[in-house]
Amino acid sequence: MKVFIYPTNSLILSDLVERFGHEPLALMAVIGKKIRTKGLDSPPINVTPEDPKLGLKYAAVEVPSGVRGRMSLFDSLLTDAEAAVIVRDPVISFGCMGCARTNELVNFLIRAKKIPLLEVDYPENEDNAKEFVYKISEFLKSLKPAEDKK
Partner 1 sequence: MESITKMLVINSRDVLPSDIVIKLYESNADISIKETCFGVMVTGERKIVDEVLTKIRKMDPYGIFIKERGLAPGEKFRCRATRRGGARPGFHNLESEDKILPHIGSALRALDRGEIPELKKKIKKLDVDILKEIIKQELEAQS
Partner 2 sequence: MKKISTNENLVRIAQLSCGAEYSGIQGEIDSAVKQVHAVMVYPEVDIEDIENIEEEFGLKVASADLKLMMARAKSIVAGKVQVDAVFVATCFRCAEAAIVRSEIRRYLNEKTGIPVISYSFTERTTAGTLLTRMEALTTTARRKSLLAREKQSGLTAGIDSGSTTTKAIIMRDDKIIGKGWVPTIKVLESAEEAFNNALKEAGVGREDIQAIGTTGYGRFLLGEHFKADLIQEEITVNSKGAVYLAGTQKGSATVLDIGGMDNKAISVQDGIPGMFTMGGICAGASGRFLEMTAKRLGVKIEELGKLALSGNYQNVKMNSYCIVFGIQSLVNSLAAGSTPEDVAAAACHSVAEQLFEQQLQEIDVKEPVLMVGGTSLIEGLPKAVSELLKVKVIVPENAQYIGAVGAALLASGFISK
Provide the binding-site residues for partner 1, judged by CB under 8 A.
Answer: 7, 9-12, 14-15, 18-19, 24, 26-36, 40, 43-45, 91-98, 123-135, 137
The site partner of 107 among partner 1, partner 2, none (C-beta below 5 to 8 Å per kind) is none
* Sequence letter at residue 125: N
Facing residues of 23 across strands? 2
Indicate the DSSP class of residue 111: H
Nearer to partner 1, 61 or 142 (CB): 142
Nearer to partner 1, 61 or 91 (CB): 91
Q: Which residues bind partner 2 (CB under 8 A)?
A: 41-45, 47-53, 62-70, 73, 92-101
28 exposed, middle or buried (CB, 10 Å; 0-12, 13-18, 19+)?
Answer: middle
The site partner of 79 among partner 2, partner 1, none (C-beta below 5 to 8 Å per kind) is none
Exposure letters 43-78 (e unless 16+ CB within 10 A, then b): eebbbeeebbeebeebbeeebeeebbbbbbbbeebb
* Sequence letter at residue 5: I
Least Å from the CB of residue 35 to partner 2: 12
Nearer to partner 1, 9 or 83 (CB): 9
Q: Do 20 and 137 contact (CB within 8 A), yes or no? A: yes
The site partner of 30 among partner 1, partner 2, none (C-beta below 5 to 8 Å per kind) is partner 1
The site partner of 59 among partner 1, partner 2, none (C-beta below 5 to 8 Å per kind) is none
